[in-house]
Structure 1
Amino acid sequence: MHLTNSWASVTARHRRLLRDAALALGCAVLFGLLAALVTAHWHPLDRFDRAWSGELHVYARDHRIWTAAVQTLSDIGGTVTMRVLLALAAGWLWLVGARVLAGWVAANALVGWGGQWALKVAVDRRRPEFDTPVSHADGASFPSGHAMASAITCAVLVGLLWYRVDRRGRTAACAVAGATVLTIGWTRIALGVHWPSDVVAGWLAAGIVLGAVTAAVELWRPGALARDVRKVNWLTRPRVQRDFAPPLGQPSGEEERFDGSVRQGAERQ
């Protein structure tokens, strides 16, 4: 029985590791292809970017109240907000003793920030330029930092909630996270500070970071993330359930009585 459980655990870890590596590799391939098309000024992509950005800019220029609301959404979902959320999550996990899980959250934030900076410098794409801009942003354009940070943060928070809620809760969490990521990415295009391909690149870069960081932690401390998830779930359960439920890894009273009956029956035979 123990050998079977051990083998199943190892197999599950291998599947998770392959999934995370596949996510990072797949997103890296797509990101590399998109970056190559951007740097080569591929005409169909340039035309698509300019058409989307131009139409949204005209609307934003002519509807100032709408533009102010979009700017507010963009500011709320900015990179600083997203990194503060991850820092709070990492700090709380550290305090409750889930140190590996806290490190995973912090690593996603730090690697995402460093990767965003390095990719912007490497590609060095100019931002959209208009005669009457409605917003302003500094630095290079590719990839979008807002899109990248929001995707990393929302994915991490959904991951932390995943085993705390039922199927309906997971569906709701994914829907809210997806809507948040799409909205923040869209605001950057609507404000005329990013091309649509910048936003897509930000999402792909987020996938690279999430997959690579998770795979690295799993290789460094096999099974530690899963153990920390169970620890957090145990510590955050209602107190009544904690008092009456058996400790993790130990059978309940009914299971003990059942096992004892089986053993006694076997001895009599």
Structure 2
Amino acid sequence: MVLLLVLLVASVVVTVAVAASFGPVLAVDRVVADGLHALALSHHGFVTAAQVWTDVFQPWTFRAILIFLALWLLARRRPWTAVWILATTALAGILDSGLKVLIGRDRPHWIDPVSHAVGGSFPSGHSLTSAMACAVLLRLAWPLVTRRWVWSVVAVAVPFITGFTRVFLGVHYVSDVIGGWLIAAALVAAMTLVDVRHQPNG
């Protein structure tokens, strides 16, 4: 419960700061964006690698994995877990789309862009969805796997790299990415609390 409250407060603070165009946040966003864009312009190989990563690890890749897993669990007669996965996935999508419309933040604009994206900037859908999916998959795999530290590292590394590519490619600000991570973490924490408290026996 404490972790959930911390994540909720953190995600709300970042969201409000972006919505209110809080000066220090905008300043950090601009400095990081300018620095990474300059790096991208001089390292075309990194841009190609980042573009491949962001194209592969896009939101619908993770959604497809979770939907397939939910259908498999339904076939294995585990409807509660399947519904929990689908509900978490759907809520993540609603939060992503809804906040993009509500906040209405423009994406970074460049005279010489290295990549392109459409829609609102906050939150980063790639970051939110990848963090949500990795957290869900890690939670479900936790009782079944050994060397849990390896799986934990992977579950953190994938969203981190995904978020970095979005800023590196100049299609998001760093606060968009951090906001996406925090919203995903708060969502999964809340849904885990629901699961723990209301999961049917058997």
Number of aligned positions between the proteins: 202
Matching residue of 2:191: 213
Q: Is the 8 A contact 2:116 2:171 kept in 1?
A: yes
Structure 1 vs Structure 2 CA RMSD: 1.5
1:184 equivalenced with 2:159 (yes/no): no
1:104 equivalenced with 2:84 (yes/no): yes
Aligned partners of 2:4, 2:98: CA distance in 1, in Å?
Answer: 17
Which structure has the larger Rg?
Answer: 1
CA distances 1:176-209 after superposition (whole Å, capped 9, x unpaired) = 1111111001000000000000000001110222
TM-score under structure 2 length normalisation: 0.94
Matching residue of 2:175: 197
Matching residue of 1:232: none
The amino acid that maps onto 2:10 is L
The amino acid that maps onto 1:208 is A
Higher relative contact order (CA 8 A, sep 6+): 2
Gaps of 5+ in 2: none
Q: Is the 8 A contact 2:80 2:199 kept in 1?
A: no
Matching residue of 2:12: 32
Q: How much has 1:103 moved relative to structure 2?
A: 0.8
Aligned partners of 1:87, 1:75: CA distance in 2, in Å?
Answer: 19
Gaps of 5+ in 1: 1-18, 229-269
Q: How much has 1:26 moved relative to structure 2?
A: 2.3
The worse-fitting range, judged by mean Cα deviation, of 39-48 and 135-144 is: 39-48
TM-score under structure 1 length normalisation: 0.71
Aligned partners of 2:3, 2:128: CA distance in 1, in Å?
Answer: 15
CA distances 1:189-232 after superposition (whole Å, capped 9, x unpaired) = 0000000000000011102221222333444xx343xx56xxxx
Aligned partners of 1:137, 1:24: CA distance in 2, in Å?
Answer: 32
Aligned partners of 2:199, 2:70: CA distance in 1, in Å?
Answer: 19
Matching residue of 1:91: 71
